[in-house]
């Protein structure tokens, strides 16, 4: 992953989202230790405090939990929490933005449905 240092999304949020994606992909499984703030800082060439802020964001959302002296670990329901969060926040916003842009461009509802169906077909053909 490459961080976008010039974007509007804070670096610590990008770190948290990257870790969420790693958990969803089961690169890091439940009860497994996640990267430390120092490992993340080295991996992404950022300040350890920024990495810690990303980890704390996940802890606040109960996606990871702390073991004193040992680090942070993936919570038992982490995948479900991430999936629910992304559906309710990220995906809904993307759909809203898509529909809004469609209205601006005077795209009919049926045409939007067809675009979505085509995207689904392409992704399935690619095995995704």
Percent of the chain past pLDDT 90, that is, above it, reads 89
List the Cα angle 57/86/83 in 5-degree steps. 95
CA distance 72 to 120: 36
Residue of 76, 36, 82, 30 whose CA lies nearest to 56: 36
Domains of the chain in start order, with CATH, are 11-76 (1.10.10.10), 79-125 (no CATH)
CA distance 6 to 99: 27
Q: What is the mean pLDDT of residues 31-47?
A: 96
The pTM of the full predicted model, rounded to 2 decimals, is 0.77
- Is the CA virtual torsion 19, 31, 33, 65 positive or negative? positive
CA distance 48 to 86: 26
pLDDT of residue 8: 86
pLDDT of residue 6: 75
Confidence at 1, pLDDT banded by 50, 70, 90: low
Confidence at 4, pLDDT banded by 50, 70, 90: confident
């Amino acid at each position: 992953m490459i961080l976008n240092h010039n974007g509007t999304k804070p670096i610590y949020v990008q770190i948290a989202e990257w870790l969420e994606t790693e958990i969803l992909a089961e690169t890091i499984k439940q009860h497994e230790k996640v990267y430390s703030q120092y490992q993340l800082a080295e991996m992404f060439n950022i300040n350890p405090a920024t990495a810690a802020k990303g980890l704390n964001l996940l802890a606040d959302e109960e996606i990871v939990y702390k073991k004193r002296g040992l680090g942070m670990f993936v919570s038992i329901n982490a995948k479900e929490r991430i999936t629910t969060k992304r559906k309710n926040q990220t995906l809904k916003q993307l759909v809203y933005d898509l529909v809004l842009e469609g209205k601006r461009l005077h795209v009919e509802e049926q045409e939007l449905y067809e675009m979505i169906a085509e995207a689904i077909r392409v992704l399935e053909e690619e095995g995704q």
